[in-house]
Amino acid sequence: MSILTDLLASYPVVIEFPVHWGDMDAFRHVNNIHYLKYWESARIRYFETIGIFEELEQSNIGPILASQNCIYRFPLTYPDTVSVGCRVVKLMEDRFLMNYIIVSHTSEKVAARGEGMIVSYDYTALQKAPLPPSVRTAIERLEKIAPISS
């Protein structure tokens, strides 16, 4: 196994991005906002994988980002390619905690780690709601975790 494979092994959703010249800022490294954009794209791919948007269309209950944080390990620069991993590490009644990782292909090491709290939100009632059973089951299957009783 390669170092990249080892670093990403526990992330069921992994996507790749090229680092663009225009992603860098005046300090000659990738601007911090791009790390969050990489995570957003990985999060959306995860949501697509578990069918959360179909649930949103049916029930008007869907995800809303409540908080996120990032620990920058080293600055990315052009040229490079990054792999971005996304996983759920904690599943609760009305929310779940996602972990993210960004791995540089050039250096073969972690550029950043972080997490985001996703709340199940009823867009009709404008308040949080329990996770729909279909979403909970899809997360449990993807993450290969035992079902959580409510």
Distance of CA 102 to the CA centre of its chain: 10
Rg over CA atoms, the chain = 16
Average pLDDT on 131-148 reads: 87
The number of CA neighbours under 13 Å toward the Cβ of 41 is: 14
- Asked if the model's pLDDT at residue 20 lies above 60, the reply is yes
Is the predicted pLDDT of residue 147 greater than 60, yes or no? no
Q: Which domains does the chain have, with CATH numbers?
A: 3-141 (3.10.129.10)
Confidence of residue 89 (pLDDT cuts 50, 70, 90): very high
* Residue 48, token pair as written in the block: 């697509």
Mean pLDDT of 62-79: 97
- Cβ contacts of residue 75 below 8 Å, gap of 6+? 27, 29, 30, 111
pLDDT at 91 (0 to 100): 95
Q: Across residues 111-135, what is the average pLDDT?
A: 97
Assign 144 a pLDDT band (cuts: 50, 70, 90): confident
